[in-house]
Structure 1
Amino acid sequence: MISYIDEVLELWAEERQGGGSESGSGMAGNVIASLMASQGVLNRSARGSRVLVDRAAEVEWIVNKHLSPEQRQVVTAQYCNGGASAAKWAACGCSRAQFYRRLGQAHRAIESQLLKRAA
């Protein structure tokens, strides 16, 4: 797995689970809440910063549009669903080795798309 992509996917899962459905991706509510909590001062290094929210929204788009259904399933199982690893593999209907092979492929695909979008 790619550690940077792992961190981005963890942030994506946090935003996905914590956000509402105001903007379609559920990412807008957290920025407003963080601005209210900080009295209008946006700390760019905090988890609620606009840069990180934009990255989470980008990842949401990449996961939904550019991953195969199998890759999307393992990414969702790994980052959005709690529980034991064996339950994740069973939910995806694959072995441990196949699960991590698909997850690695998804990491590489997400990294590739992020690099394309940055260029």
Structure 2
Amino acid sequence: MADQHILDALYATVAARKGADPDTSYTAKLFAKGTAKIAQKVGEEGVETVIAALAETPDKVASESADLLYHLTVLWADQGVKPEDVWQILAERQGISGITEKASRKGD
């Protein structure tokens, strides 16, 4: 599988688990616990990634990043956000100064 498509494949697997048995699938268990639990896991994994970046090895950062991306795809599926929705926004932002882009957002 091409590296650039790994998140698309992960998302497809995650989305397919949405109706699975929570007793046999960790992903299904997250869906069953609801959005608040899924969001909590994204936050936890984000913090663990930051801690790894500050105090651990690059391998640990990569491992924590994989956990973060997995939980983020669960959140996307929970919210009906498809990877291509995110890729489209990233493509639109490509080549735009980060300062200019942030200034264009309301409330930031």
Normalising by structure 1, we get a TM-score of 0.32
- Greater helix share, 1 or 2? 2
Normalising by structure 2, we get a TM-score of 0.34
